[in-house]
Amino acid sequence: MTNSIEELEKDAKCIFVIGSNTTENHPVIGMKIKKNVLYRGAKLIVADPRRIDLAEMADVYMAHLPGTDVALINGMMNVIINEGLVDKEFIDNCTEGYEAMAEVVAKYTPEYVEKITTVPAEDIRKAARIYAESEAAVICYAMGVTQHSTGTDNVKSICNLAMLTGNIGRPGTGVDPLRGQNNVQGSCDMGGLPVTYPGYQAVTNEAVRAKFEAAWGVPLPPNNGLTLTETINKAHEGQIKALVVIGENPMMSDPDLHHVEEALEKLDFLVVQDIFLTETARYADVVLPGVTFAEKDGTFTNTERRVQRVRKAIDPIDGAKPDWQIICELATRMGYPMHYNSPEEIFEEMKALTPSYAGMSYARLEGRGLQWPCPSADHPGTPFLHKDGKFTRGKGLFSAIEFKEPRELPDEEYPLILTTGRNLYHYHTGTMTRRSVALDKHVPEAELEINPHLAAKMGIRDGEKVRLSTRRGSVEIKAKITDILAENVVFTTFHFHEAAVNWLTNADSLDPVAKIPEYKVCAARIDKI
Amino acid sequence: MGKEMRIVLRNADKIDPNSIDDYIKAGGYRALEKARGMERKALIEEVKKANLRGRGGAGFNAGMKWSFVPPAEVTYVVCNLDEGEPGTYKDRTIVQKDPHTLLEGMAICAHAINSKKGFIYCRGEYPYVVEHLNRAIDQARKKGVLGDFDIEVRMGGGAYVCGEETALIESIEGHRGEPRFKPPFPGVAGLWNRPTVVNNVETFANLPEIINRGYEWFASIGAPSYPGTKVLTLSGDVVNRVAIEVPTNTTIREVIYDFGGGIRDGKKFKAVQIGGTSGGFIPESLLDTPIDFDSMRDIGATLGTGAVFVMDETRDIVDIVTRIAKFFEHESCGKCNPCREGTFRNFKIMTKINRGMAAAQDIENMTLLCKVMQKACLCGLGQAAPGPIVTTLQHFRHEYERKLLA
Amino acid sequence: MVTLTVNGRQIKAPRGSTILEACRLNGIEIPTLCYDPDLRLAGSCRMCLVEAKGRPLFLASCVAPAEDGMVIETESPDIVEARRIVLELLAARHDFSCQTCEKNGDCKFQDYCYRYGVKDSRFTDGGRHVYPIDDPNPFIERDYNKCIMCTRCVRACEEITVARAINVKDRGHNAKIATAFDGHLADSPCVFCGQCIMVCPVGALTSKVSAGKGRAYEVDRVLTTCTYCGTGCTLELNVKDNQVVGVTSNRSEEYSPVNKGALCVKGRFGWDFINSPDRLTTPLIKENGEFREASWDEALDLVAARLQAIKESSGPDSMAVFTSARMTNEENYLAQKFARAVLGTNNVDHCARL
């Protein structure tokens, strides 16, 4: 997030939620948005193929077809430009590339966009005006925007919209991706990425590499590594021979599980470190028992870049070890001695190499934590980025983006769009929530949301099992009839191994830049059983 | 022999209440015109000096109430027509016989506090009054006499507590009818948190004549500390069960015997309860008290809404008070602890006494409970609910003791 | 600032304070049940009554403004008498099953009954409601036989979670907290965040997941960060005998900067996986397609040897590490360091995109 969670409750005058079912996936942030809208008068715009909870209180709700985000946002920008609602001063002083962008956007009239997205032109106009005319407007988005073959384009479009109206660099404005997992921000910050060391320092940058080589005392590889999805593909091709999986569950979370399964089976050696014998761990050669967040010290970095303490509440259960200790022991056994007395010592080493964390310490993290960048010990942290329109690269760059259709479109055989996500009561691959008795009792199985008209046509009753199929395969799943989605769209979650929807999703359809799979759109069909 | 004096009912039965022209012919809406020619401050001062005190029960100086309204963009005038006190029908009578005098009074107030919008909160049991009022408002709108001030009628759902001004406001806002704590008073933060004047029908209905005739005229009528007239509604064991309007220095005895025609069927007087269900019970010995607000308070009774409920010698005081306790148990909104549980316990204990199952300790417990409720409850309902118990224990204790277990 | 006299002592407080705030600021404790600094004021429990010289009525100190020159008594005989009556009225409707109550020792009603010596109620003529305890949801136990009608749950549901699942139904003594049509929570807009449990001052609303596992005075509360979504809510793990037995939350902005005590259903009720019997408690090595238990030394030696061998035979880039968005920063740092410095590859990634 460029801005802070608190600002969504206190400072934002308009909140545009696109591709985020906030009240289910970030419930506490959802509460704050609702508070602002209901009790402080903020305007709310919601764009989502499903009429989610927030849509019920929105000033404008746009049910765009999955995969048409670029068109929708271009349409809003078209209105803003044509009606003179742009922030000219911000564009002139803080950005570049406006002309090229405006040229592309010119053809995206609301009427044209209506044909692509199914959103009425008038709603696009209304949304554009509310967003552009607001004193402080923020855009919140999540996987509904990113999990597309055009995910990067979608995000760039969102940035275009924010820059066009100068809604960046002030409290209550900004572009706020809501990160889905407790420490996904931290994992990225810490260099859990194939192209960067901690603090987003490029592995290909020689000066940076020299710094890490000096600190770690070994020569380091100069080339970019493989992303997770590429790794699976390379394993499938036999080029990746050994895989160390720590606390991940690709056999549930990755697209096209047939493909993942074959890849894992082809590996010479798979080691999985986890708290449970996950779907992935079953394929391992060696399984190492780690511990939960309750059993270790450390820090997590949340979606607003706030680094907060994790504190050990209980000793590790008998037989398990904190993951940091396991890694140390493994490295030491491989001839690279790693010895730390505590996570705090690791933190100290990390921060010396990571400018955005350099000013932090466990002592300073007590209480409220700190939001990076926090470059020095007397720096108070940074609640919002791009203050006064200053961007990392100097000026904000508009991108001229054309709408592209999703990779796999419905056809006669597979006439529906399958889109996937999460629900309030479960988390990701269900490893933890399926083993939390109350959560699993309350929502024990996957449901496929089906529009009542479609259900009526096919003679499907609420609660009956249907077969959901794509070109990759099929699962049996309980039907839930609901009018929150369109007749040609079906939705389910990926939490349940009994009906793991990722057997059906598409591993070939990746965003070319981010390599993110297109979970939000694939062609599907349902059949009565 | 006491005499009626009609201010708020001056047009009653003389004009056609469905005709605004009749009202105007009788001098209607002249006061509003006059008021609109006055500086706001001067208008408020006029009402203040007239010493017009609230006719709904609390007896607060209306002009004073208006003067607390701070300058604000949006203010509201709210008329309390939630006439829920058993035995009270004065507001309905006023509105049925002369609706425009209320509208004119509200419009005068609106000018004083610079309000563009008024609400009349009408008792849910009076649907025909709502129709009647809407007709009158429609006529006034068409005539343009209200200017840029508009009035909307809202209907209650039958809860007694909504006669309390803050509960009434909650109800207009669409919430559960529960009183708010004060301060802030509605004058500062009322309807939708805006400055709001809430007055009773009878209070508003006095305004046209005060403006027409001047404050000195009004202030000289009746009791000096509570000048003007009061509409009283007589019920119970009295010969004439009627609504009357009398100067406020009229005594209770005059009300019952001169206007009410005395006790029915030649029986003897036992007690009278004035001001509604929560009013104190008054014995024979205090009948020469004038009905004005302060004199009534001094004898531990209330003027309240002006309901006069007369009981003859055959009436069982404990039985009556038990029924009253049942009423409050039913009408407590349940928001504050002492009222929610206290009205329930009072009813329980009164029932026990009434059935001859109680001991002296029960009366002691109830006495203590009543004492706490009067000072501890959140709103007037709970504070006043013990009144009948306390006053009957004071004046008719023997009737309780007669029913106790030996 | 305003100056007022409380119990014979002069105190000062910022203008605009309530009497309660002024007193608490000066170390004078006044009992409260419905008061909650994070919620809209109700002024309804009447526990915080005080006497102000010259005022005919008692003042609810939580809502009454502190005015210059006020002379206040907070524990005068009349006030104590009124509080006792209020407590006795509540006692007459309260189910005193303290011995088996989850909130024993952490119950404001219990504390105040103790403080004012209320052992029993003089209002004993029946009328206690007997409400069934039958909401089948797996999260929140609703026992309205213990409810004291402070409405903090209603306000928390409306103002913190904005679910508006519950409100007061009926009037007077029959008033009760209920969903629309007095049904089960699952049939209401309830999202089972448990904010109502957080604010309930008595044992009317408690966690079913923690039931019977430890009272407040038996547990240590360890402040930590939630392990689910990326919001980063602060929560308190309740620990008894080296076991997590529940989750509560800290409502101070200083310790709970993101959520100020608010949690969602996963954070508040989804902690018992920690104690799941499915937890891995020993390394496993696969032989002939079957896992067998192994010692740490054996397992780690095997992993180290196999990785070393593959590194030598196929090169560092034939290996990859998936690190985890669920692990700590420190562990992620080590995992990527392990990939880069030990294995010698930049093939390290995690499920950021999934």
Each residue's pLDDT tens digit, A221-257: 999 999 999 999 999 999 999 999 999 999 999 999 9
Angle at A27 between CA A24 and CA A28, to 5 degrees: 175
C93 touches chain B (CB under 8 A): yes
| pLDDT in the model for residue A323 | 95
Gap from A224 CA to chain C (nearest CA, Å)? 6
| pLDDT in the model for residue B58 | 82
Q: Which two tokens stand for residue A83?
A: 């009606």
Q: Which residues, in sequence order, are bridge partners of residue C207?
A: C140
* E strand map for B10-148: 76-81, 117-122
Q: Which of A9-13, A29-33, A304-308, C122-126 has the lowest mean pLDDT?
A: C122-126
Question: DSSP secondary structure string, C271-309?
Answer: -GGGG-TT---S-EEEETTEEEE--HHHHHHHHHHHHHH
CA distances from A281 to A275, A285, C306 (A): 10, 8, 17
A23 touches chain C (CB under 8 A): yes
The arithmetic mean of pLDDT across residues B350-370, rounded, is 97
B270 and B392 both lie in a single domain? no
Taking an 8 Å cut-off on Cβ atoms, the answer to whether A242 and C319 are in contact is yes
List pLDDT tens digits, range B85-127: 999 999 999 999 999 999 999 999 999 999 999 999 999 999 9
Residue A467 corresponds to which amino acid?
A: R
Question: At A388, is the pLDDT very low, low, confident or very high (cuts 50, 70, 90)?
Answer: confident
CATH code at position B354: 1.20.1440.230
Chains A and B touch (3+ CB pairs under 8 A): no
Of A391, A359, B229, A269, whose CA–CA distance to C312 is shortest? A269
List pLDDT tens digits, range A469-505: 999 999 999 999 999 999 999 999 999 999 899 999 9
The dihedrals phi and psi of A174, each to the nearest 5 degrees, come to 110, 180
| pLDDT in the model for residue A378 | 95
Of A112, A70, A168, whose CA–CA distance to A406 is shortest? A70
Alpha helices, H only, chain C: 19-25, 77-91, 108-115, 152-159, 195-199, 265-269, 296-314, 329-337
* E strand map for chain C: 2-6, 9-13, 49-52, 59-60, 71-73, 140-142, 166-169, 176-179, 205-207, 220-225, 234-240, 243-248, 284-287, 290-293, 319-322, 348-349
| Domain final residue, candidates B286, B312, B338 | B312
Q: Which residues, in sequence order, are bridge partners of residue A467?
A: A476, A527
Question: At B399, is the pLDDT very low, low, confident or very high (cuts 50, 70, 90)?
Answer: very high
Q: Give me the residue spans of the domains in chain C.
A: 2-75, 98-207, 216-275, 284-353
Strand C348-349 and strand A269-274: the pairing is unpaired
B329 contacts in chain C (CB < 8 Å): 172-173
Residues 6+ apart with CB under 8 A from B406: none
Angle at C238 between CA C235 and CA C240, to 5 degrees: 165
Calculate the average pLDDT of chain A: 95
The arithmetic mean of pLDDT across residues B276-302, rounded, is 94
Phi-psi region of C294 (alpha: psi -120 to 50; beta: other; left: phi over 0): beta
Return d(Cα B77, Cα B169) in angstroms, integer: 11
User: For C354, which of A26, A253, A323 is closest by C-beta distance?
Assistant: A253
Q: Is B249 helix (H, G, I), strand (E, B) or coil?
A: coil
Pick the residue of C123, C166, C202 with the most B CBs within 10 A to test the interface with B by mutation: C123
With a threshold of 0.90, does the pTM exceed it?
A: yes
Return d(Cα B137, Cα B122) in angstroms, integer: 14
Contact B122, B154 (CB under 8 A): yes
List pLDDT tens digits, range A327-366: 999 999 999 999 999 999 999 999 999 999 999 999 999 9
Domain C216-275 bears CATH identifier 2.20.25.90: yes
The dihedrals phi and psi of A443, each to the nearest 5 degrees, come to -130, 85
User: For A180, which of C227, C229, C339 is closest by C-beta distance?
Assistant: C229
Q: Which two tokens stand for residue C224?
A: 């930590």
Pick the residue of C113, C173, C202 with the most B CBs within 10 A to test the interface with B by mutation: C173
Gap from A366 CA to chain C (nearest CA, Å)? 8
CATH code at position B238: 3.10.20.600
B170 and B27 both lie in a single domain? yes
Residues 6+ apart with CB under 8 A from A239: C318
Question: At A392, is the pLDDT very low, low, confident or very high (cuts 50, 70, 90)?
Answer: confident
User: For C82, which of B333, B352, B376 is closest by C-beta distance?
Assistant: B376
CATH topology for C98-207? Alpha-Beta Plaits (3.30.70)
Taking an 8 Å cut-off on Cβ atoms, the answer to whether A25 and C299 are in contact is no
* Domain assignment present for B357: yes
Burial grade of B154 (CB within 10 A; 0-12, 13-18, 19 or more): middle
* Domain assignment present for B132: yes
Domains and CATH numbers, chain A: 5-178 (3.40.228.10), 180-224+290-380 (3.40.50.740), 226-284 (no CATH), 416-528 (2.40.40.20)
Residues 6+ apart with CB under 8 A from C53: C70, C71, C72
Q: Which two tokens stand for residue A344?
A: 């705090």
| pLDDT in the model for residue C354 | 74
Question: At A386, is the pLDDT very low, low, confident or very high (cuts 50, 70, 90)?
Answer: confident
Return the biggest CA–CA distance within chain A: 68
| pLDDT in the model for residue C14 | 97
* Domain assignment present for B4: no
3-state helix/strand/coil string of A240-306: CCEEEEECCCHHHHCCCHHHHHHHHHHCCEEEEEECCCCCCHHHCCEEEECCCHHHCCEEEECCCCE
| pLDDT in the model for residue B1 | 63
Gap from C17 CA to chain A (nearest CA, Å)? 23
CA distances from A377 to A306, A360, C285 (A): 16, 6, 46
What is the C-alpha R_g of chain A? 24
Gap from C208 CA to chain B (nearest CA, Å)? 28
Gap from B89 CA to chain C (nearest CA, Å)? 25
User: For C89, which of B159, B341, B383 is closest by C-beta distance?
Assistant: B341
Other chains touching B, judged by 3 or more CB pairs under 8 Å: C
| pLDDT in the model for residue A8 | 95
Question: How many domains is chain B built from?
Answer: 3
- The secondary structure element, H or E, covering residue A438 is helix A437-442
Return d(Cα A297, Cα A441) in angstroms, integer: 31
Question: At A106, is the pLDDT very low, low, confident or very high (cuts 50, 70, 90)?
Answer: very high
C64 contacts in chain B (CB < 8 Å): 183
B191 and B76 both lie in a single domain? yes
Residues of the domain holding B390 = 317-401
Which of B 347-376 lie inside 8 A of C, CB atoms? 348-349, 352, 365, 368-369, 372, 375-376
A323 contacts in chain C (CB < 8 Å): 327-328, 331
C120 touches chain B (CB under 8 A): no
| pLDDT in the model for residue A427 | 94
Size of chain C in residues: 354
The arithmetic mean of pLDDT across residues A136-155, rounded, is 94
A277 CB neighbour count, 10 Å cutoff: 18
| pLDDT in the model for residue C353 | 75
Spell out a b/e string for B102-126, using b for 16 or more CB atoms within 10 Å of the CB, else e: bbbbbbbbbbbbebebbbbbbbbeb
Question: At A214, is the pLDDT very low, low, confident or very high (cuts 50, 70, 90)?
Answer: very high
Contact C65, B184 (CB under 8 A): no
* Domain assignment present for B304: yes
Which of A 3-22 lie inside 8 A of C, CB atoms? 5-6
Q: Is the confidence at residue A419, as pLDDT, over 90?
A: yes
CA-nearest residue of chain C to A30? C161
Q: Which two tokens stand for residue B145?
A: 């006499």
Q: Lay out the sheet containing A137-141: strands in order across.
A: A60-62, A43-47, A14-18, A137-141, A174-177
Regions of chain C short of the pLDDT cut 50: none
Taking an 8 Å cut-off on Cβ atoms, the answer to whether C45 and B330 are in contact is no
Taking an 8 Å cut-off on Cβ atoms, the answer to whether C334 and A293 are in contact is no
Taking an 8 Å cut-off on Cβ atoms, the answer to whether C341 and A336 are in contact is yes
CA-nearest residue of chain C to A188? C352
Other chains touching A, judged by 3 or more CB pairs under 8 Å: C
Q: Which residues, in sequence order, are bridge partners of residue B77?
A: B118, B197
User: For A315, which of C242, C320, C328 is closest by C-beta distance?
Assistant: C242
Percent of chain A's residues with pLDDT above 70: 100
Residues 6+ apart with CB under 8 A from C9: C26, C28
Return d(Cα C263, Cα C248) in angstroms, integer: 9
The dihedrals phi and psi of C74, each to the nearest 5 degrees, come to -105, -15
Return d(Cα B42, Cα B29) in angstroms, integer: 19
A347 contacts in chain C (CB < 8 Å): 329-330
Strand A298-301 and strand A306-310: the pairing is antiparallel
C46 contacts in chain B (CB < 8 Å): 336-338, 376-378
| Domain final residue, candidates B220, B244, B261 | B220
User: For C86, which of B337, B344, B368 is closest by C-beta distance?
Assistant: B337
Return d(Cα C110, Cα A51) in angstroms, integer: 46
Question: At A508, is the pLDDT very low, low, confident or very high (cuts 50, 70, 90)?
Answer: confident
B37 and B111 both lie in a single domain? yes
* Domain assignment present for B9: no
* Domain assignment present for B44: yes
Q: Is A201 helix (H, G, I), strand (E, B) or coil?
A: strand
Torsion A371-A372-A376-A380 (CA) sign: negative
Residue C318 corresponds to which amino acid?
A: S
The arithmetic mean of pLDDT across residues B269-295, rounded, is 95
Contact B81, B123 (CB under 8 A): yes
What is the signed CA dihedral for B168, B169, B175, B178, rounded to 10 degrees?
Answer: -50
Pick the residue of C18, C33, C35, C44 with the most B CBs within 10 A to test the interface with B by mutation: C44
The listed CATH number (3.30.470.10, 3.10.20.740, 2.90.10.10, 3.40.190.10) that belongs to domain C2-75: 3.10.20.740
Taking an 8 Å cut-off on Cβ atoms, the answer to whether C171 and B372 are in contact is no
Taking an 8 Å cut-off on Cβ atoms, the answer to whether C303 and A146 are in contact is no
| Domain final residue, candidates B282, B297, B312 | B312
Return d(Cα B113, Cα B198) in angstroms, integer: 12
Taking an 8 Å cut-off on Cβ atoms, the answer to whether A313 and C352 are in contact is no
Calculate the average pLDDT of chain B: 95
Q: Which two tokens stand for residue B336?
A: 């504050």
Angle between helices A121-133 and A110-117 (to 10 degrees): 120
Spell out a b/e string for A470-493, using b for 16 or more CB atoms within 10 Å of the CB, else e: bebebbebbbbbbebbbebbbbbb
C151 contacts in chain B (CB < 8 Å): 335
Contact A504, A469 (CB under 8 A): yes
Taking an 8 Å cut-off on Cβ atoms, the answer to whether C85 and B375 are in contact is no
Residue A31 corresponds to which amino acid?
A: M
C77 touches chain B (CB under 8 A): no
Q: Which two tokens stand for residue B381?
A: 């309902």
Contact C123, C92 (CB under 8 A): yes
Which of A 215-234 lie inside 8 A of C, CB atoms? 216-218, 220-221, 223-229, 231, 234
Chains A and C touch (3+ CB pairs under 8 A): yes
User: For A313, which of C239, C330, C340 is closest by C-beta distance?
Assistant: C239
User: For A28, which of C263, C278, C328 is closest by C-beta distance?
Assistant: C263
Taking an 8 Å cut-off on Cβ atoms, the answer to whether A439 and C232 are in contact is no
